[in-house]
Structure 1
C-alpha cells in the first residue's frame, strides 16, 4: 500500500473505485487537494451522483472499469471494494499503486480519533460517544460507516473524530491510528466478502494493531482471545456482565445486574458510570453499547457519572425502534438486524411473546444459531425474500413448526399480526441484507413502518 500526504496533491492522477457515499467523499477531498480525479464504478452511476461529481470537476464512468481507470498515480478503493475484485487484481498486475480509504484520509484528519467497529451495535455506540462528547462541550465529527463519509471530516480541526469502521474499510487499513479503539462484539458476518470468519476477525483486529501506544482498546472480555488483545499496544479494557467470569484486564467495564449500574474498575478503585434506568434505549444489548460509550469518555478522563449525559439521545432508526402499538401488539423495526448475531441479540433483549419477520439476501451464514434462538424466543416466524427457503429449512430442522412464508413485506406484516393472536410483539429483524428487495436496510425499515402506521390510521 502507498500513501500520499502533504497540503495538496498537485495534479496527481487519482482514480477512485466506487461511486457510493465513500467514493463521492473521496472524490470531494481529492478535488479539494487539487488532484486530477477520476471515479470508476462497475455499476451504472445515477444522474444525481453524476451532477455531484461534475461539480467537483471529476471525470467518471459507470458500468465498467475502462483503461482510463488504470491511468493513475494512485488508485483509491472506496468502502466495500474486496481484495479479489477484478479491478484490484488488474491494478496489481499493472503495478498501479493501491490505497484504502482510511490510509488515504488519515493524513488529512485533525483531532483525537475514536474508532468503533464490531459485528453489531457499532452505529449506536458511535452515535452515543458523539452525543456524550457533545454534551461535555467538545467539537465532534461523527462519520464513517454510519452513513456519512469520513472525508467530510478532513481538512478541518476537531476536538474528537468518532468513526464507525466496517471490516471492509479495516481490511485495507495500515495507518489510521486511534486514541481509543472499540470492538463492540464479534460474530460471523460478511463471510461472503472475507472468505472466512478468521479473515473477518483479522480485519476487525486491525483497529487494535494500529492503536496509539498511549491509547486504549475497549472490547468484550469474551472476545479477548479471538482479537489477541494481550499483544496490542495501549491499555486493554474488557467489558463483562457481573455474572460472567472475570477476565484478566487490569481495567474493566462491568454491567452489574444486581445494582443495575455500569462500573469501571481499575487498580485505583471502582467507579459508577451510570444507572441502567438513565439509558433511554431498549434492550440488554444497548446497556453494553452505553457501557462502552461511557467507558470511552472515562478512559479519556472526561466527566464522571454520565446519567445526565444520555439525556436527549433518542437512539437510531431501524435499530429495535418502536413503531406503534396497535390493539395490544407492539411493532418494532430492527431492519438493521442484517446478520444472525444481530437478530439473535434482539430476540434475547426484547421481552414478551413475539412473532419475527425474517429473510432477505443472505451473507453466507449458518442459520442454525438463528433457529436455536427462534425456537427459544418466538411463537411464529414469517419468512420472505431470497433466503426464505434456507431459513425455513433451518427452522424446521431445529424442530420449529410455526414457519409462515410471505411474498413481501405487506404480506409478512399481515401474517405476523394474525399469527400473534393477541397481545405481544411483531419484530422485523431479518438476519439478512435487504438487497434482494430494497436498496438498503433503511428503505426496508421505512416500508415496514409505513405499513404499520397505515394499519394504525
Structure 2
C-alpha cells in the first residue's frame, strides 16, 4: 500500500471539488481519471513520465486540462493530492516524492467506485479474469440487463460513472486493488492465485494481499467466489457469503456454497440444493480452466438472481483473442494460440487443461519467474518444446534440469511454427503459450498471437 491519507482532504467519498489534483499517467486510465476529476470540479493537472500521445494532448487541450510529459517536474507536486493511474508502481520516483512532501495519494478505484451507479461485480485473479469479466457482461446483456464492462480489460472504470446501469462488471488488477479502500462490490470473484507481478508488489505475499482486498471490500450483503485451494492464502477461511470451486464434490473448506466440477458438468451446491450450472458440451471454450471460468461466471448470475438456461446465456460468446484460441488445423494437428500466457502459471494451466500430447512453443522476455513448475508441466504434457526469445536459454536450462531433452531452438516465430510442425504427429496440438511477455520481439501479446496465427494460416496441407 502507498499509505493512503484521504481523510485529510475529505476525499474518502471522492470530494475533490475545488481541489488541486495531479493525475499521474496519461495512458487510458489516466486520461479518463483526469476527465472525471475535471467533471467533479477539481483543478486538474496531468503529469506523465514518458511521451504524451497526440490524441491525449488534443483531448487535454479541448478539456482545459494542463499537462506535462517526459518527466515529473516540481509542478506535479503543487497539488492537494496525487491521483495515480493503475500502472504507477509504489517505487516510482513521483510516488516517493509525494510521500516525502506529505502529499496524499489516491488510487483509481477510490475516486471511481463511489460514483458507479449499479450493482458492482469485481473480478480479479492471476489468470482468466478477462474471460470471466467478459462472459459475465455478455450473459447479463443476454438476460436484458444494462451493463458496463471494463476496468483493466480496456475500458477505464471511470467511464461508467456518468449514467445508471443495472450492473457494472470490472476486471481489477492487483495494482488497482493495492490502493483501494472503497469498493462495495455486490459480487467479488478471485479466479485463481499464482505468482505474478512480484517486481511491482515486492513479494508474492503482498501480491496476494492486494488480490484479497476484493473480498474485504464487498458490500455488507455482497458475495464472493474463490477457488477452494486459495481460501487460506486469501485469508477467507472465516468469511461469510462465500462460494468455493473445486474438482472434488467434498471441498476442503465448508463455506456457504460450493461449485463442483464433475466429469461432464459443473454443479452448484447452495442453500441445501444441488443444480447443474452447465454441461461442458454447451461451451466452445477450450480447456478445463475455461470450464472453471464459465462455472464461476454462471454462479455470479445465480447470485444476481438471473436463472435462465446456460445455453441461452452463453449463446454468441466468442473466446477472447489469444487465450487458448483455436488457430487452425493442418494435417490432423491442431494449433492453439495462447499468446496471453505471459507467466508460468498461465502456460502450465494451458498445457494441463488441453487434452492430448503437445508440441509447446515457449519463450520471450521473462518476468524473473522460476521455470521449474513450467518444466514439470512440459515433462508431463509435451513431446517437445520449441524455444525462442530472450529467455530461451533460461527455459532450456530448467527443462534439462527436469530431465527433458526434446528441445529445439528457433530464431523467430516462423521458424518456431515450422519446427513444431515437423515434430507434431496427427492428433497432437501445437500450443503457443510462451510463459513470457512479448516485448523482446513484439509490441504486445496480441501482435505475437496474430503473427502466430498468420503463419499457421499459411501452412500448406501435406500430401
Q: Taking structure 1 as the reference length, what is the TM-score of the superposition?
A: 0.95
CA root-mean-square deviation: 1.9
Which whole-Å deviations, capped at 9, do the CAs of 1:85-104 have from their partners, x for residues lacking one? Answer: 11101101111111001111
Aligned to 2:281: 277
User: Which of 95, 106, 122 does residue 99 from structure 1 map onto?
Assistant: 106
d(CA) in 1 for partners of 2:394, 2:62: 46
> Deviation of residue 246 (structure 1)?
4.3
Is the Cα–Cα contact under 8 Å of residues 41 and 64 in structure 1 kept in the other structure? yes
Is the Cα–Cα contact under 8 Å of residues 237 and 253 in structure 2 kept in the other structure? no
Three-state SS of the structure 1 residue aligned to 2:231 is helix
2:424 aligned with 1:420, yes or no? yes
Three-state SS of the structure 2 residue aligned to 1:187 is coil
Aligned to 2:233: 226
User: Which of 456, 459, 462 does residue 455 from structure 1 map onto?
Assistant: 459
> Deviation of residue 26 (structure 1)?
1.0
> Deviation of residue 381 (structure 1)?
1.1
> Deviation of residue 7 (structure 1)?
9.0
Aligned to 2:310: 306
Aligned to 1:256: 262
d(CA) in 1 for partners of 2:414, 2:46: 38
How has the CA–CA distance of structure 1 residues 7 and 95 changed in structure 2, closer, same or farther, with 3 Å as cutoff?
A: closer
d(CA) in 2 for partners of 1:456, 1:62: 49
2:23 aligned with 1:16, yes or no? yes
d(CA) in 2 for partners of 1:313, 1:204: 27
d(CA) in 1 for partners of 2:290, 2:260: 14
User: Which of 259, 266, 269 does residue 265 from structure 1 map onto?
Assistant: 269
Aligned to 1:202: 209
Is the Cα–Cα contact under 8 Å of residues 14 and 114 in structure 2 kept in the other structure? no
How has the CA–CA distance of structure 1 residues 388 and 60 changed in structure 2, closer, same or farther, with 3 Å as cutoff?
A: farther
Which whole-Å deviations, capped at 9, do the CAs of 1:78-120 have from their partners, x for residues lacking one? Answer: 1121112111011011111110011111122111100000111
Is the Cα–Cα contact under 8 Å of residues 272 and 305 in structure 1 kept in the other structure? no
Aligned to 2:247: 241
- Number of corresponding residues: 454
> Deviation of residue 5 (structure 1)?
6.9
How has the CA–CA distance of structure 1 residues 455 and 230 changed in structure 2, closer, same or farther, with 3 Å as cutoff?
A: same
Q: Taking structure 2 as the reference length, what is the TM-score of the superposition?
A: 0.93
d(CA) in 1 for partners of 2:248, 2:425: 37
2:433 aligned with 1:429, yes or no? yes
> Deviation of residue 333 (structure 1)?
0.8
- 5 Å-filtered alignment, 1:45-444, equals 45-232=52-239, 234-242=240-248, 245-257=251-263, 260-420=264-424, 422-444=426-448
Is the Cα–Cα contact under 8 Å of residues 340 and 369 in structure 1 kept in the other structure? yes
Gapped regions of structure 2 (runs ≥ 5): none
d(CA) in 2 for partners of 1:128, 1:409: 31
Moved more, 98-107 or 246-255: 246-255
Is the Cα–Cα contact under 8 Å of residues 273 and 307 in structure 1 kept in the other structure? no
How has the CA–CA distance of structure 1 residues 421 and 288 changed in structure 2, closer, same or farther, with 3 Å as cutoff?
A: closer
Gapped regions of structure 1 (runs ≥ 5): none
d(CA) in 2 for partners of 1:447, 1:49: 29
User: Which of 44, 47, 52 does residue 40 from structure 1 map onto?
Assistant: 47
How has the CA–CA distance of structure 1 residues 55 and 285 changed in structure 2, closer, same or farther, with 3 Å as cutoff?
A: same
